[in-house]
Amino acid sequence: MTSKRHSPLPEPNALEPTSGGFTEALRASPALADLAAQLLSALFPDKRFATAHEGRWLVFSARPALALAESRRLLGHLHDLVDLPQWRREYAVAREVTDVKGRRLEVQVPLTPQAYDGGEALVGPFPDQAAAQEWYGSVQQRGLAADTVQVADAWLCDLFVLGELLDD
């Protein structure tokens, strides 16, 4: 996708994000993908973006890559986005993640516990930390660890691959 003023979201894999000088810039859950595309286009009109589906994510890759200052600016706007009332009600989260795959930005609406079907995910909301931990105990999978995170008046369970942290 060329990033001319609010270009429509391209078809997934319209450009290969792992080739041609594209570098991952942002991962968005489906509910926030269109807004993420508009934000990237508005903030970085001089960049091209490729998209690809990866699991539950829509991955946006940029060419040229976002500089650290640009990533920080994007994260600030993502925090503003998830602070809007309609996204606060959905417990949306914007964050920077660092693991052995590198540093990346994510913006997402958590999966409901009923929609969780395995693997890495942010799941919730739960009424309290104990309920989030109890839910995790009922779905534990080999190789996954979990943290609980409070967002507004609820708790989320963040499931991640433990081995990726231990490889550091």
Tens-place pLDDT, residues 33-76: 999 999 999 999 999 999 999 999 999 999 999 999 999 999 99
pLDDT for residue 102 is more than 50: yes
pTM exceeding the 0.95 threshold for the entire prediction: no
Please give the structure tokens belonging to residue 71: 């990533």
pLDDT for residue 110 is more than 80: yes
What are the distances in angstroms from CA 92 to CA 26, 68, 107, 126, 165?
A: 15, 23, 7, 14, 24
CB atoms under 10 Å from CB of 38, counted, come to 16
For tokens 């993640």, name the residue. 97
pLDDT for residue 17 is more than 80: no
- Residue 134 is predicted with a pLDDT of 96
Q: Are 93 and 151 in contact (CB under 8 A)?
A: yes
- Residue 26 is predicted with a pLDDT of 97
- Residue 101 is predicted with a pLDDT of 75
CA gap 103, 67 in Å, rounded: 12
Tens-place pLDDT, residues 64-81: 999 999 999 999 999 999
